[in-house]
Amino acid sequence: MEKETAKQRVEALKKELNQYNYEYHVLDKPSVSDYEYDVKMKELKDLEEEYPDLVTPDSPSQRVGGEPLDAFQKVQHNIPMLSLGNAFNEQDLRDFDRRVREGTDEKEISYVCELKIDGLAISLRYIDGIFERGATRGDGRTGEDITRNLKTVRSIPLRISEEQTIEVRGEAFMPVKSFRALNEAKEAESKDVFANPRNAAAGSLRQLDPKIAAQRNLDIFVYSVGEWEAGAIASHSERLAYLKQLGFKVNPETKTCENIDEVIEYIQYWTEHRPELSYEIDGIVIKVDQIAVQEELGFTAKSPRWAIAYKFPAEEAITTLREIELSVGRTGAVTPTAILDPVQLAGTTVQRASLHNEDLIREKDIRIGDTVVIKKAGDIIPEVVRVDVKRRSGHEEPFHMPTHCPECGSELVRLEEEVALRCINPNCPAHLREGLIHFVSRNAMNIDGLGEKVIKQLFEHDLVQTIADLYKLEREELLKLERMGERSVSNLLDAIETSRENSLERLLFGLGIRYVGSKAAQTLAEQFKHMDHLMHADLEDLIAIQDIGEKVADSIVRYFEKPQVKSLIQELKGLGLNMEYKGLTAEDIDTESPFSGKTVVLTGKLEQYSRSDAKKQIAALGGKVTTSVSKNTDILVAGEDAGSKYDKAQELGVTIWDEQQMIDALSE
């Protein structure tokens, strides 16, 4: 190929491949197959190898990483990369809002809320539209040149859509999926693992060998501008839109809020939903939207007055383990629980934490009196993570599990292939009590008013021993109990009466059959339709059902073989409990409805439907309701105050309905 022809082909390939990269890594909408991409990349590399002088900084071939560096060069930030002041609660946010309003004559102040990515702050500089240099934040004024490592991050454009000089700031991060894969690979090689995705991202970008960074699957969100030549843009939100137009990846969850109350709602939403993200965040950044107001408010020595970072409550805390308490669950498993000195964790006071089992206590060498680090697993259940052995005084006491049940005194056993010790006495009071608590729970029989405290009262007063006894309770007996007046008793008896009509899957789950969760109970009820059919099913019948494995099937067969279980079912029938499945079957689903085969997301406040009723009706018409918007979502039903899901649906081109359109479709 002649050089001039090769040059034209190289330019065409660079343009195509950069566009494919943008579609795949920024828009999440690939337009070509991996094979087609690889073929064109090989063609480009072959031409560049033949004509080395055709290699340019914006060539996609430069993303693979070059030769290792001896050291990173220092970089001066012409505009300092300042840190932000922190807010830890609602009052801090309202104080920030007050200071903003006191510092300007502008009456209408709006804010832009951005997820605070837990990664590494970086600066990207473009000359005439081509990526020229990337640097770490460093101390805010001096960073390190990590250009060659940043070129391996495929969501960073090597050429932007306009030939201008601009410096942007963003956060490089490692997605959770990539982090787990990296640590698994390190464990397989007996190497030290990274503590968290933030450390992994920072460590990857500070590798002297760019080829290592290229293997780490890093990503980036751009969130602000340092130096640039563009004309005046009046708001931060418009700047973000402009950056997106240039080809940068901007977080789709960013939202403009009209007042501080909307900011607080946004924070509350993401405090609850952050586990759903594919990357880690450690807070929310709030910025005044109007650029003129930002300039009017100015800066302190360390941070801008027009922005603040709300930090999520600490996910780990240090405290002292005072004792280990044992409890017996409904399956007989004896579970140790750490009793702690009270400590604040993720916005709540924690005094108890899970220790799971004896093997874990031994593995972590947890002793009574130890200083321990606790965290909330999934931000819900506190657990002991590790012991601070450096703080040991020598007076800490090793813990040993008992040989007999703390409730009934029966000898504990360890079943084959299990780590838990179990009490297998069927008459153990803890078995019976915990089984009753499970039976009345929301996902089981859903008997409102029969909480854990009431169950314990009934048990202590010898009013119930089995679940059948719940349906024999009399008003006079209940009125004698503490805090049970006429109204409470009437409501409770009404709830018990209503539960007799529950569909079969609720009863199955409530029985507490080992390994049968709510999903398996639903599957079994749909398949067998009646309790009698399930009771007579053999192992082969059960294994033949999708999602019912041999372990679950064996447990079901063994359960219904027990004489006391057969007697219980007959007693429940005599007490008027429904034994049939009342839910939808495949034949009931309308395959010709507007929802048939569609994935639907509900967001915002619905006026004429509760969220649960809407879900049921959509499911009855063949639709599947999920909680998050993705490229697989077909319809977003947006009620009042629809938030970030609405914005994401718009960005992905998802069909958006208001509530009336949903009602019309349900009516059809």
Where in the sequence numbering do the catalytic residues fall? 116
**376-379 CB contacts, 8 Å cutoff, 24+ apart:** 376/315, 376/345, 376/346, 376/350, 378/275, 379/274, 379/275, 379/315, 379/346
Alpha-carbon radius of gyration of the chain: 31
For residue 84, give Cα distances in angstroms to 298, 300, 328. Answer: 13, 10, 49
| Whole-number Å distance between alpha carbons of 252 and 648 | 6
The β-bridge partners of 339 are 323, 352
| Whole-number Å distance between alpha carbons of 425 and 105 | 75
Beta-strand ranges (E) seen in 329-400 are 334-345, 348-354, 367-368, 371-377, 381-387, 397-398
| Whole-number Å distance between alpha carbons of 530 and 468 | 19
| Whole-number Å distance between alpha carbons of 384 and 368 | 12
| Whole-number Å distance between alpha carbons of 221 and 514 | 46
Q: Write out the two tokens for 289.
A: 């939207």
26 Cβ partners below 8 Å, 6+ apart? 155, 157, 247, 248, 249
| Whole-number Å distance between alpha carbons of 47 and 9 | 9
342, 348, 352, 354: CA torsion to nearest 10: -140
Cα-Cα-Cα-Cα dihedral sign, residues 456, 459, 463, 465: positive
| Whole-number Å distance between alpha carbons of 565 and 567 | 5
For residue 661, give Cα distances in angstroms to 143, 337, 628, 658. Answer: 53, 51, 20, 5
